[in-house]
């Protein structure tokens, strides 16, 4: 049976309804997005330009930064441009496309963070077997699997949603397209679809989070037998990753495991992990990492020398 959609355009309510608050949001979030793109872009450039950052950890960090740019760019440019107009609209097809890429890059990031935790576990707990277990081909397979997992997850989300009929209203109570607010617009019962989304998004995020935390518990237990210097170096390496994991998974689990009825909390949480967290990640990884900071300084000096010639 063909799906009948009387709705072809959707209207966002936005993050705030107050025009003054929206103008302030434009001033705040435009620099945040620019910092996200430039910061993560700088990490990609540094890792690919520096021979000192050839280890597997930076190979994964390079892909994580790429995912951060794509993930944020799926939502933020449309949101920022909408702050300048009264009617914030998007086509139904455009909404479905935004949902697909939002979940694609979001789950790819989750899986990359999981891969990075596994890499740290092998490096710290099985150092003698590290190069065998984490060979370069194996790293490529893990990264490819992360992208493939994001694609598979996103396909399930879209197949769950695309068959729903939308016959009004056309106002979506959010500043971007996501599944829970979109379900409110369907003119049919979405209980089954909600369960599928809860299982696919919420439980998968929770399981990945438990796996990550368990990995670091094992690492911390293992470090008890290391020297003080060894513990300091290992903890310094892991601290940045743990911080990023908490910043990402906390809001995601809140949104999908305990969806609210008004979406007020959802929008505030979403603003954090779609706009703020991707900007913080490059800062977190560089502030505590001397190798990355030295590589950036070396790259900057090289650019200055080329400019003088």
pLDDT value, residue 253: 66
The domain that contains 23 carries what CATH number? 1.20.1070.10
pLDDT value, residue 272: 87
Measure the CA–CA gap between 259 and 120, rounded to whole angstroms. Answer: 33
Query: Does 164 reside within a domain?
Result: yes
Which of 182, 187, 160 lies closest to 171 in space, CA to CA? 182
Averaged pLDDT for residues 73-87? 92
Both tokens of 192, joined, read: 């089954």
CB 57 within 8 A of CB 65: no
Q: pLDDT of 125-154, one tens digit each?
A: 888 899 999 999 999 999 999 999 999 999
Averaged pLDDT for residues 47-66? 91
In degrees, to the nearest 5, what angle opens at C-alpha 8 toward C-alphas 19 and 187? 95
Measure the CA–CA gap between 107 and 197, rounded to whole angstroms. Answer: 13
Query: Does 210 reside within a domain?
Result: yes
Percentage of the chain modeled with pLDDT above 70: 91
Give me the number of domains the chain comprises.
1
Both tokens of 76, joined, read: 């933020």
Q: By three-state DSSP, how is residue 89 classified?
A: strand
Counting Cβ atoms within 10 Å, is residue 189 exposed (0-12), middle (13-18) or buried (19+)? exposed
**Which structural domain range is residue 255 located in?**
9-300
Measure the CA–CA gap between 121 and 126, rounded to whole angstroms. Answer: 7
Both tokens of 154, joined, read: 């996103």
pLDDT value, residue 46: 93
pLDDT value, residue 130: 92
Encode 7-45: b = buried (16+ Cβ within 10 Å), e = exposed. Answer: beebebebbeeeeeebeebbeebeebbeebbebbebbbe
Query: Does 25 reside within a domain?
Result: yes
Beta-strand runs (E) in the chain: 9-12, 88-91, 171-172
Query: Does 287 reside within a domain?
Result: yes
Both tokens of 216, joined, read: 């670091």
Query: Does 3 reside within a domain?
Result: no
pLDDT value, residue 3: 60
- Band (pLDDT 50/70/90 cuts) for residue 231 is confident
Q: By three-state DSSP, how is residue 69 classified?
A: helix
- Band (pLDDT 50/70/90 cuts) for residue 306 is low
Query: Does 2 reside within a domain?
Result: no
Fill in the DSSP letter of residue 260.
Answer: -
Which of 45, 58, 55 lies closest to 240 in space, CA to CA? 58
Which of 146, 5, 30 lies closest to 81 in space, CA to CA? 30
pLDDT value, residue 51: 86
Q: pLDDT of 2-36, one tens digit each?
A: 566 678 899 999 888 888 989 999 999 999 999 99
Both tokens of 180, joined, read: 């829970």
Averaged pLDDT for residues 275-292? 84
Q: pLDDT of 158-215, one tens digit each?
A: 999 998 988 878 899 889 998 888 888 888 889 899 888 888 877 777 788 888 888 8
Counting Cβ atoms within 10 Å, is residue 195 exposed (0-12), middle (13-18) or buried (19+)? exposed
Highest mean predicted confidence (pLDDT) among 52-56, 166-170, 247-251, 302-306: 52-56
Query: Does 212 reside within a domain?
Result: yes
Query: Does 253 reside within a domain?
Result: yes
Fill in the DSSP letter of residue 162.
Answer: T
pLDDT value, residue 308: 62
pLDDT value, residue 175: 92
């Amino acid at each position: 049976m063909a799906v009948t959609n009387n709705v072809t355009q959707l209207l966002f309510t936005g993050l705030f309804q107050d025009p003054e608050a929206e103008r302030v949001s434009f001033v705040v979030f435009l620099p945040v997005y620019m910092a996200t793109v430039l910061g993560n872009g700088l990490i990609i450039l540094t890792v690919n330009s520096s021979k000192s950052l050839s280890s597997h950890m930076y190979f994964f960090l390079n892909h994580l930064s790429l995912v951060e740019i794509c993930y944020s760019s799926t939502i933020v440019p449309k949101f920022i441009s909408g702050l300048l107009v009264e009617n914030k609209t998007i086509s139904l097809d455009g909404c479905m496309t935004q949902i697909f890429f939002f979940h694609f890059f979001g789950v790819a990031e989750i899986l990359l963070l999981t891969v990075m935790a596994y890499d740290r576990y092998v490096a710290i707990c099985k150092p003698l077997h590290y190069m065998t277990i984490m060979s370069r081909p194996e790293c490529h397979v893990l990264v490819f699997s992360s992208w493939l997992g994001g694609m598979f997850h996103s396909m399930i989300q879209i197949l769950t949603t695309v068959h729903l009929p939308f016959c009004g209203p056309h106002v979506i109570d959010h500043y971007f397209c996501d599944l829970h607010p979109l379900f409110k617009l369907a003119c049919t019962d979405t209980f089954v679809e909600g369960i599928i989304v809860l299982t696919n998004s919420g439980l998968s995020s929770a399981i990945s989070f438990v796996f990550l935390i368990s990995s670091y518990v094992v690492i911390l237990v293992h470090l008890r037998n290391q020297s003080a210097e060894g513990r300091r170096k290992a903890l310094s390496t892991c601290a940045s990753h743990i911080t990023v994991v908490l910043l990402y998974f906390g809001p995601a689990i809140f949104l999908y495991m305990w969806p609210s009825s008004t979406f007020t909390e959802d929008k505030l949480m979403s603003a954090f992990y779609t706009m703020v967290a991707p900007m913080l990640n490059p800062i977190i990884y560089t502030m505590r990492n001397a190798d990355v900071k030295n590589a950036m300084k070396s790259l900057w000096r090289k650019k200055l020398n080329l400019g003088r010639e």
